Amino acid sequence: MLYTASITAPINTPKTSPTTKELKVKAGYITKIQVLIPSGHSALAHLAIRYGETRVIPWGDDEYIEGDAETVPWEEELELRGEPVSLTLEAWNQDDTYEHTFYVRIWVEGKPRGPDNALLNTVLGRVEGFMERVLGAGA
Residue-wise burial string across 13-47, b where 16 or more C-beta atoms lie within 10 A, e elsewhere: beeeebbeeebebeebbbeebebbbeeebeebbbb
Does residue 105 have a pLDDT over 60? Answer: yes
Domain boundary assignment for the chain = 2-113
- pLDDT, one tens digit per residue, over 17-70 is 999 999 999 999 999 999 999 999 999 999 999 998 888 899 888 899 999 999
pLDDT at position 137, please? 62
**CA nearest 84: which of 112, 51, 54, 113?**
51
Residue 16 pLDDT exceeds 90: yes
Q: What is the pLDDT of residue 24?
A: 94
CATH architecture observed for domain 2-113:
Sandwich (2.60)
Alpha carbon distance 52, 85 (integer Å): 9
Closest CA to 9 of 60, 44, 57: 44
Residue 138: its pLDDT value, please? 58
Q: Quick one: pLDDT at residue 84? A: 80
Name the amino acid, one letter, at 55. Answer: R
